[in-house]
Amino acid sequence: MASEVMSDARQRQELADELAEYGVRIAQPDDPPLFTKEPKSTMQPFHWKAADLARLLEKIGASLKLEQGGQRRTLRLTNPGLPYGTTPTFWASIQYILPGEIASAHRHAATALRFIMEGSGADTIVDGEQYVINEGDLVLTPSWTWHDHEHKGSKPMIWLDVLDISLVRSLHATFFEGSSEPRQSVNRISDRSYREFGSGLLRPMHEQRTGGPSPVLAYTWSRAQEALSQAAGLEPDPFDDTLLEYQNPLTGGPALPTIGTAIQTLRPGANCKPHRHTGSVVYYVVRGQGTTMIDGKQFDWSKGDFLALPPWAIHAHQNRSDNADAVLFQVNDIPVLKSLGLYREEAADGAMSRGTAA
229 Cβ neighbours under 8 A, 6+ residues apart = none
- Residue 355 maps to a domain: no
Q: Are residues 217 and 125 in the same domain?
A: yes
Residue 14 included in any domain = yes
pTM of the model: 0.95
Domain that holds residue 16: 1-37
CATH code, domain with 199: 2.60.120.10
- The reported pLDDT for the residue numbered 200 is 87
Q: What is the pLDDT at residue 4?
A: 65
Q: What is the DSSP code (8-state) at residue 142?
A: -
In terms of domains, do 3 and 104 share one? no
User: Other CB atoms closer than 10 Å to residue 173's CB: what's the count?
Assistant: 11
- Number of domains forming the structure of the chain: 2
User: For the chain, first and last CA: distance in Å?
Assistant: 30
Considering the domain architecture, whether residues 170 and 107 belong to the same structural domain is answered as yes
Q: Note whether 25 and 140 are same-domain residues.
A: no
pLDDT tens digits, residue range 123-150?
A: 999 999 999 999 999 999 999 999 999 9
What pLDDT sits at residue 354? 60
Q: What's residue 271's pLDDT? A: 98
Query: In terms of domains, do 87 and 218 share one?
Result: yes
> Is 51 part of a structural domain of the chain?
yes
6 and 69 fall within a common domain:
no
The CA distance from 291 to 303, in Å, is 12
**Is residue 354 situated within a structural domain?**
no
Are 65 and 6 in the same domain? Answer: no
Looking at the fold, whether 105 and 173 belong to one and the same domain comes out as yes
Same domain, 30 and 78: no
Residue 54: φ, ψ to 5°: -60, -45
Amino acid at 175: F
Q: Are residues 8 and 84 in the same domain?
A: no
Q: Residue 71's pLDDT is what?
A: 81
Q: What was the pLDDT predicted at 209?
A: 85
Task: Evaluate whether residue 308 is within a structural domain.
Answer: yes
The answer to whether position 263 is within a domain reads: yes
> H helices of the chain, where?
9-20, 50-63, 165-170, 192-197, 221-231, 334-339
Helix (H, G, I), strand (E, B) or coil at 332: strand
pLDDT of 357 reads 43
Asked if residue 357 belongs to a domain, the reply is no
Tell me, yes or no, whether 150 and 127 share the same domain. Answer: yes
Same domain, 184 and 294: yes
In a domain, 118, yes or no: yes
Of 276, 261, 268, 270, residue with least CA distance to 329: 261
Residues of the chain falling short of pLDDT 50: 1-2, 355-358
